[in-house]
Structure 1
Amino acid sequence: MRFVKLSQREFKQIRKLYESVMSQACYGLFYREGMILGDEMALIAQQESDEYFEVCAKLLKAKGWVEDVKFEDQLVTVTASIEALEPDTVGKPTCHRMRGILKRIYEVHRHKQLHCEEIECVAKGDKQCVFKIEEVSMD
């Protein structure tokens, strides 16, 4: 299998291109891209189900998405997300692909539909990016 590596600068330029064409509508596309990437990571991690989240963390680091990640029951803390832009550049969460990746990692493991929200982001001036995982209400 072949892989492609992108720098954080290239990621930023691609993001700006999408935003110039699609405005905020591109965030949904980034999220769906993340879900596809998360499916692949979950598939690999399932082979070692006793260490599922440890394998996912290793994959996220090895693929360059994060420098560190901590999985908890309903929270994921990410240090140095490749998607996180510098503070004060946008003032809102920017890790849309990461949200999709984490959503699928948890959904595959828990066998249920979940929602992932970025509640802290470096782009908003927070120290790290934090994601909240919740069950989807069927109301």
Structure 2
Amino acid sequence: MRVDVYPKRVFTFVESRPGEDIYEIRVMLRDVPGALAKTANVIAEAGINIKTSIVFASLPNEKQGFWTAFIDVSNSKIGIDELTEKLNALDVVLNAQIVKPKPAAYDIMHFPIQHGEERAVVMPISLLKNLFEEIEKILTPSGFAAVFYNAGKRSGENFAKYYREKFNPKTKEELAELLFLCTGAIGWGRVETYSLDLNRISGKVRLVGNIEGAMRNKGAEPVCHWTRGFLTGYLSIATGREIEVKEIKCIGKGDEYCEFQLEAK
């Protein structure tokens, strides 16, 4: 199935326009149909604009969840205290809190960030680029490539084992597909096309917007050593065989996308 894709903003911060009065609201809701609609209706009736929001379960075994949003109250018909009272009076609301983050509208109501069951961090690409560049100053080009390839390979092996245990895929092809779905969802890069024969150990994977290639300075050689290592480790576990992955096209050397070729070792 092919769908249109658009950039996704992570719920960490919201830009405010001149004249807006931004607050953050967190509502703990009962896990019942219509809970979010009832809550949003109170906010709409108050003339408050919802800038952005997220909804997620608090704990897997609890029948409740959070709805958190940045709201603009500049045209609100009621005050913050009255809005809080109205929300807490709803039968679907367990608790509602509204705060004003200062001096900028950053999320101050949730920590830590989680990706699935594991803690995660949101790092702008500029900071990650600085990290790579400083490490590159210390190591020789071959040493840099080896360190990041080996780190990627180990990460790929561990990730494949984790996915196999968590999702119990029926085939090695399904295990590979899980990785390709994940890469776009977490912002690593979007697998645009792939043609893999995991029985004969051959094929190619095309990765568009690969963050590793995008943040590196342009050069004559492929630079995505961590990504290449990750694919090697992951697909080796998926196939049960030692494989080799080569990067044959790379954003880091001016190509439109990164492309990796899979071969038997």
Structures share fold, TM-score greater than 0.5: yes
Name the counterpart of 1:41: 159
Segments of structure 2 that go 5 or more residues without pairing to the other structure are 1-117, 197-202
**Of the candidates 108, 113, 116, which is equivalent to residue 242 of structure 2?**
113
Q: What secondary structure, in the 3-state scheme, does the structure 2 residue paired with 1:102 have?
A: helix
Larger radius of gyration: 2
Compared CA separation, residues 125 and 41, structure 1 to 2 (3 A): same
More deviation, 36-45/98-107:
36-45
Question: Percent same amino acid among aligned pairs?
Answer: 24
After superposing the two structures, state which structure 1 stretch, 111-120 or 49-58, moved more.
49-58
Q: Please state if 1:57 is matched with 2:180.
A: yes
Higher normalized helix content (fraction of residues)? 1
Q: Determine if the alignment matches structure 1 residue 80 to structure 2 residue 80.
A: no
CA distance in 1, matches of 2:241, 2:191: 26
Residues 88 and 125 of structure 1 are in contact (CA less than 8 Å); yes or no, is this contact kept in structure 2? no
Tell me if the contact between 2:129 and 2:215 (Cα under 8 Å) persists in the aligned partners.
Answer: no
**In 1, Cα distance between equivalents of 2:128 and 2:145:** 13
Q: Deviations over 1:7-44 (max 9, x none)?
A: 22222211110110012111111111111221233123
Conserved? CA contact 2:126–2:215, under 8 Å = no
Distance 1:93 1:103 in 2: 16
Q: Which residue of 1 aligns with 2:136?
A: 19
Mapped contact 1:30–1:96 kept (Cα < 8 A):
yes
CA offsets 1:55-103 (integer angstroms, 9 cap, x no match): 1112222332113353322211100001013797222211111101110
Q: Distance in 2 between matches of 1:99 and 1:10?
A: 21
Secondary structure of the 1:49 match is coil
Instruction: Give 1 or 2: higher strand fraction.
Output: 2
| Corresponding residue for residue 76 of structure 2 | none
Distance of 2:123 and 2:209 partners within structure 1: 15
| Structure-1 separation of matches of 2:152 and 2:221 | 18
Which structure's relative contact order is higher, taking Cα pairs within 8 Å and 6+ residues apart?
Answer: 1
User: C-alpha distance in 1, partners of 2:254/2:191?
Assistant: 18
The alignment status of 1:96 with 2:219, answered yes or no, reads no
TM-score w.r.t. length of structure 2: 0.47
Taking structure 1 as the reference length, the TM-score comes to 0.86
